[in-house]
Structure 1
Amino acid sequence: MAKDFRYLCYPYMRESVSTVDFEIRTDSLSTKIGLASSMTEHLPKVHDDLLYLAEMAYHLNGSVRGMTAIMEEDLNKLSQMYDRYVSEVEDRIQTFVLPQGCTAACTLHTCRSEAKKSVRALHKVSTEMKVENILFKYAHLLANVLFVMAVYVNKCEGIEEIPFVSKSYSDKI
């Protein structure tokens, strides 16, 4: 008898390896990037970049269990994207800022946080199996790109960043 897949949301759910947690994290990341893209249709370049990043988050997802799908040219493209957004908001990111602003920027901050969780899940996977270093580079850079995109979207919407001054750490980190 054939398996009824309507009762199976993800075929690896019962595995105990950390790969599953990484895949679930990056699925969540891609989903939230897609949500952010739906809020930036009035900013066509951001919208297109986010659709591309949603796809790349899925490539990152499969690069641990399957064949590595993140290549040097993908890392370079992401790095160029980072440089492009930083050049637009450099004056706004000289200090820590609160994750606030318009809904799209707040969603991008949520994506940034999801990307960091993906990095952490990838680290856990690396304690169980070999993980290509490019995947770490890509995941870390992706979190940073999502941050500068959030700040850029706030800038486009005329929303000022609110600096965050920690009571726990000095600014000399």
Structure 2
Amino acid sequence: MKIYTRGGDKGKTSVLGGRLNKTDNRIEAIGAVDELNSAIGQAIYCAHQEHLSNISTELMIVSNQLFDYGADLANVKETIPYKITAAHTEELEQRIDAHTESMEPLAYFILPGGCATACALHVCRTEARKAERRVNQLESGIHPELQVYINRLSDYLFTLARLANKQTGVVDVAYEGEKHFDS
């Protein structure tokens, strides 16, 4: 199978149910999810390097779900059943709750930082928020569960960043209030 098809050479791309301009908001949303999934790949690598196999395993599940999520976004005529369901969001919530119970209660704002995996996960969290904004810009044909899932995913990634710091013995970076450079 060739990697190139030449089908997009004139500014259009295929989706499930037709073709869209590459500048269409739906393609922007699909692209934002793809960017997020690439960042997840980087976080998986970091988790492997830091021997956080539980986190890398969970992130592999999320990566596969994001691939399905992108396919759901490309389902413009709703010709096939959606792959992402309320059950996926419920699983994220269960993981958030389980991980949160294993950590100290959150008592302050956290800045991005810590171990390499936590840093990568904070990038993932911001990419998830960007993808959520792109999905919410779509005016029609969006399965409601897609909006819920992507919103919950950023909370999950924040929680995983905290967990990565805990498991590597690194303290979360606390927001310390207004700061100024010394003159």
TM above 0.5, yes or no, is yes
Structure index of larger Rg:
2
Give me the CA root mean square deviation: 2.2
Secondary structure in 2 matching 1:11:
strand
Normalised to the residue count of structure 2, the TM-score between the two structures is 0.79
Which protein is richer in strand relative to its size?
Answer: 2
Ranges in structure 2 where 5+ consecutive residues have no aligned partner: 15-19, 179-183
Equivalent residue for 1:11?
Answer: 13
2:46 is matched with 39
Q: Which residue in the other structure is 1:58 paired with?
A: 67
Q: CA deviation at 1:37?
A: 0.8
- Separation of aligned partners in 2, 1:143 and 1:166: 24
Deviation per CA, 1:45-94: give whole Å up to 9, x if none: 11100000111111111212214211122122111111122112242x33
Matched position secondary structure for 2:22: coil
* Higher share of residues assigned helix: 1
> How many percent identity over aligned positions?
24
Aligned to 1:134: 145
- Name the counterpart of 2:37: 30
The runs of 4+ residues in structure 1 deviating greater than 6 Å are none
Equivalent residue number for residue 166 of structure 2: 155
Q: Which amino acid aligns with 1:22?
A: A
Shift of residue 166, structure 1, vs aligned partner:
5.3
Q: Deviations over 1:78-136 (max 9, x none)?
A: 11111122112242x332111011111100000000000011001101xx213222111
Query: How high is the TM-score relative to the length of structure 1?
Result: 0.83
Q: Pick from 119, 129, 133: which aligns with 1:120?
A: 133
Aligned pair count? Answer: 161
